[in-house]
Amino acid sequence: MARRRRNETRRAHRAVAVGAVSRCHDQACRVAERTLAEELAEESDAGHVQTGRGGDSAAHCPHAKAGLALLAVVLMAGTSAQATQAAARTYAWTAGVAVAPPEHGRQRAETALAGHGDRLWLSYLDAAYGRRSDSGSWVAWPRKVTLFTSPDQGKNWQALPNLSEMGGDEALTTDQTGALYAGWIRYFYDADKRLKQRAAVARVGADGKAGPLIECLPWEPLSTAHDQTSLASASGSGIHVVATDIHPRHRGQPQLLYARATAEGTSCQHAQRLGTIGALPQAGETTAGLVIAGPKGYVTSADGGGTFSPPHPRPFADKLARLAVSPDRTTVYVTGDSAWNGIWVHASEDGGRTWRRTEVVRIGPAKGWRFPVVHADKTGRVHVVWMEDGAGIGALYHAHSGDRGKTFSPPVRISDTPFPFPAKAPPPPPGTQDGSWIGDYIALTSTKETLIVAWSDQRAGPSLATVYVPRFVVL
């Protein structure tokens, strides 16, 4: 029985490796593909699996180059108690396959993912990218918000109608029934030709088309500029909608905005301003209440978003915090970026009244630890993915915890090709970039058996970014 399982695993490793670099069109790339397959098979025979090996061989394949990547991690399968325990901690990452090839003058970034059952949805910003003729500064404009779906855990993807022909900062979530909701910042010009930005939310139908837009966050036409949408499923029904107001009148202190959308996606309630907790806030509802966290602190609600506490200061991050909730809805996890202090995960099991903090990666030679994201899969295992250059190259790393975030596995590199990682990362806003681009943002979700991560980088060269999808076999 053990020998048969080893043979099955060996064949699966070959299948994973072949799928991981399935875009080979020349002899050198095919050699790298076969080499990777044999390496994984040999490691399987030896009784262990080296995670992340796919990138080492795939990096030699010129067709693996591109900018915005989507990969998958799958769990080892087994029948004995020991095999089950190994399944919980052993992962095999595949390389990414581009949805769209790198294209000069295009910036594809700001990924968002959502899943329900075997189905996945992916959204990202697709913008024209180049220098302004008047100032010479780089700008990502105009920009549209795309939407893709996969019915089979990411094996195949198809394009759906764009969510917006002029938007950005998109977010996706599903409710308890599996219905998909999308949020984004809608850009438009008012009657006086002034550019405006306002958060919009829509329920996406089974045909992939967004329903009527609802715009229910606090809004004053002459003194509000919405930014950075985030969505989270609400208990019972409905969706928590979060964004910030970055109008200059707030003097660099983004104002937290909140509303709760109905399950039908036709109206909202409890629209309110909640002070400031920093940029890019995210929400999650536990059995103890709703928590909205940003890099500088958090607010809580015990009545589903009707009323909130004052902002509680807590330094989750330098500039960006990400939030996840355990599948049993008892624990909220928050992680954040850092320019000097590594990656940490904060956890609360009482709705934000008390917190514990766990180190994920120690301080090292990296210039920074950027765009981290946290996710709790259906088994309760906590996953963290982030970007850094501690090994001298830009790369993504993954660590996981099987004890509710109290300890984490050693980090494993999961990106298959090096990419630039400038010291000033993250770069300035799109209007003032110098052509460099990293991250912004990493997205992470899971299906029944697979962990999916999507991100943006410039491995294909300056001003190039695109989207990858996974090829994988469940072991």
Closest CA to 75 of 410, 451, 415: 451
Q: Is residue 64 part of a domain?
A: no
Mean pLDDT (the chain) is 78
Three-class SS state of 84: helix
pLDDT for 13 = 38
User: What is the pLDDT confidence band of residue 462, given thresholds at 50, 70 and 90?
Assistant: low
Q: Is residue 383 part of a domain?
A: yes
CB-neighbour burial class of residue 117 (10 A; exposed 0-12, middle 13-18, buried 19+): exposed
Query: Length of the chain in residues, anyone?
Result: 475
CATH of the domain at 173: 2.120.10.10
- Is residue 78 included in any domain, yes or no? no
Looking at the domain assignment, is residue 92 inside a domain? no
Residue pair 78/51 in contact by the 8 Å Cβ criterion: no
Q: Are 242 and 231 in contact (CB under 8 A)?
A: yes
For the segment 201-205, the average pLDDT, to the nearest whole number, is 97
* Of 162 and 93, more confident: 162
Average pLDDT over residues 243-268: 94
| % of the chain at pLDDT higher than 90 | 51
Beta bridge partners of 270: none
Rounded Cα–Cα distance for residues 386 and 373 (Å): 6
pLDDT digits (tens, 9 = 90+) for 225-234: 999 999 999 9
Residue 246 predicted with pLDDT over 80: yes
Buried b (16+ CB within 10 A) or exposed e, 250-286: eeeebbbbbbbbbbebeebebeeebebbbbbbbbbbb
Has residue 439 been placed in a domain?
A: yes
Distances (CA, A) of 261 to 232, 268, 269: 10, 4, 7
In a domain? residue 464: yes
* Mean pLDDT within 215-225: 94
Cα separation, 257 vs 173, in Å, equals: 18
- Counted domains in the chain: 1
Q: Are the CB atoms for 30 and 424 separated by under 8 Å?
A: no
* Lookup: tokens for 428: 């300035």
Is 138:130 a contact under the CB 8 Å cutoff?
A: yes
Please give the Cα distance from 88 to 31 (Å, whole number). 32
Q: What confidence tier does 190 reach under pLDDT thresholds 50, 70, 90?
A: very high
Residue 66 belongs to a domain: no
H helix and E strand count, the chain: 4, 29
Distance of CA 127 to the CA centre of its chain: 19
Question: Is residue 60 domain-resident?
Answer: no
| 28 or 366, which is more confident | 366
CA dihedral angle for residue 170, residue 176, residue 179, residue 182, rounded to 10 degrees:
-10
33: left (phi over 0), alpha (psi -120 to 50) or beta: alpha
pLDDT value of position 433 = 53
**Residue 414 belongs to domain spanning:** 102-470
